[in-house]
Structure 1
Amino acid sequence: MSANPGNRTQLWNPTPPDRGSFPLDHYGDCKDQMQKYLKCMKLVRNENAPNCRLLAKDYLECRMQHDLMDRVPWNELGLPESEPKKAE
């Protein structure tokens, strides 16, 4: 039995990710940040919550520091450059 229904041959052209490869964190360098982010996303039911974005920023910063991804400006990742300043 073939995995292709109807025995049609189709050319499949995979497309690479926009930012290239994304190496796995084999040594768990950023595991804590990842787990905090995933817990936050579960808590807000995958909504675009500001507190989860800050945790995502922490996670991505950890990955950049451990050379698990290239250093990219925050605005290109859709994240704020710095935390908002509180009015006194």
Structure 2
Amino acid sequence: MSFGAPPSLPGMRPTPPERGSFPLDHDGECKTYMRKYLKCMSESRSVNVQDCRLMARDYLNCRMDRGLMLRDDWKNLGLPDEAPAPPAGPSATESPSK
């Protein structure tokens, strides 16, 4: 008998979760992206701001590129496909109308 562990039942096999299980980044391949994201979250007091979401996307993209997680659509991960366009406004080449 093991204390603190549920008893083994015959015929039950553990199955890994669909999400949330991925290899750790032991070599620190994406550490720079992770640190930028964590710094952003710290500075924004963990409020989900757009800049931090873009850094999260960069971090996850690094992990996917290096085979540390399966590639998935950004919409499935709750992140934007692309960086937002800069706000529309008068450009430096436009002259003000009179």
Q: TM-score, normalised by structure 1?
A: 0.77
Identity of aligned residues (%): 55
Larger Rg: 2
The answer for unaligned runs of 5 or more in structure 2 is: 8-13, 90-98
CA RMSD of aligned residues (A): 2.2
Partner of 1:82: 82
Q: How many residues align?
A: 80
Q: Where in structure 2 are the equivalents of 1:2-21 lying within 5 Å?
A: 16-19=16-19, 21=21
Give the Cα separation in 1 of the matches to 2:40 and 2:17: 25
Partner of 1:65: 65
Secondary structure of 1:63's match?
A: helix
1:30 deviates by 0.1
Task: Please list every run of at least 4 consecutive aligned residues from structure 1 whose deviation after the TM superposition is greater than 6 angstroms.
Answer: none
Residues 45, 19 of structure 1: alpha-carbon distance in 2 compared, 3 angstrom cutoff: same
Give the Cα separation in 2 of the matches to 1:73 and 1:44: 26
Give the Cα separation in 2 of the matches to 1:15 and 1:44: 37
Structure number with higher helix proportion:
1
Residues 18, 46 of structure 1: alpha-carbon distance in 2 compared, 3 angstrom cutoff: farther
1:83 deviates by 1.3
Q: TM-score, normalised by structure 2?
A: 0.70
